[in-house]
């Protein structure tokens, strides 16, 4: 029985030193969430202008469709890290809601280490290569007469999964703190 408190104490010391890193990563995710939220404004403006131009002026734009899917995709992708920070991703709650905080932390830590972090790191590396290749070849979207370069959108994919990996690392630290019996000030149980 004495081994569990001893292990928790041994784990608590290095994890406590990571609290500033945890706070920094949370701020990065919060800032990216704010950027994602504000992207709705140009999305709405572009959509409204397209409707006005198409139905009032009878001259549809060449750019509204592509700007719309790129901004909406950016909104969704960049918001992933913020959503993880806020624990708002969908999860199957059959057992999770009925177990202790420590068991939840174990389940979450396992998920981050085995699934989320490897997947995000693999995707980030692959998406960086795709963005770089699109930039080097000046690849275009090919979806409309507007035909913008696609590398900025591909760079958003890379940035989004990198931000998600960073927030998953922050959540892993948070799991470690929970397992060590330490609660951050201002955090809900």
Instruction: Please tell me the distance from the alpha carbon of residue 140 to that of residue 180, in angstroms, as a whole number.
Output: 51
Listing DSSP states for 76-142 in one string gives HHHHHHHHHHTT-S----TTGGGS-HHHHHHHHHHHIIIIIHHHHHHHHHHHHHHHHHHHHHT-B--
Binned at pLDDT 50, 70 and 90, residue 145 comes out as: confident
Helices and strands in the chain, H and E counts: 7, 0
pLDDT tens for residues 2-39?
Answer: 555 655 555 566 777 888 899 999 999 999 999 999 99
Residue scoring higher pLDDT (9 or 91): 91
pLDDT tens for residues 95-104?
Answer: 888 899 899 9
The predicted pLDDT at position 12 comes to 60
Residue tagged 């706070």 (tokens): 23
What's the whole-number mean pLDDT along residues 114-139?
97
- Cα end-to-end span (Å), the chain: 25
The predicted pLDDT at position 14 comes to 72
The predicted pLDDT at position 75 comes to 95
Q: How far is CA 3 from CA 26, 134, 157, 175, in A?
A: 32, 54, 45, 19
């Amino acid at each position: 029985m004495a081994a569990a408190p001893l292990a928790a104490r041994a784990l608590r010391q290095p994890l406590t030193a990571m609290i500033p890193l945890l706070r920094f990563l949370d701020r990065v995710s919060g800032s990216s969430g704010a950027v994602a939220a504000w992207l709705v404004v140009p999305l709405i403006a572009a959509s409204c202008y397209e409707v006005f131009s198409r139905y009032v002026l009878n001259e549809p734009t060449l750019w509204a469709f592509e700007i719309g899917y790129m901004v909406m995709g950016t909104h969704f992708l960049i918001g992933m890290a913020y959503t993880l920070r806020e624990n708002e991703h969908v999860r199957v709650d059959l057992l999770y809601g009925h177990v202790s905080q420590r068991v939840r932390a174990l389940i979450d830590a396992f998920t981050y280490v085995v699934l989320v972090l490897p997947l995000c790191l693999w995707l980030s590396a692959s998406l960086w290569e795709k963005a770089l290749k699109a930039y080097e070849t000046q690849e275009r979207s090919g979806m409309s007469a507007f035909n913008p370069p696609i590398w900025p959108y591909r760079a958003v994919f890379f940035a989004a999964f990198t931000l998600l990996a960073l927030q998953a690392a922050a959540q892993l630290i948070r799991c470690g703190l929970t397992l060590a019996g330490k609660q951050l000030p201002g955090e809900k149980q």
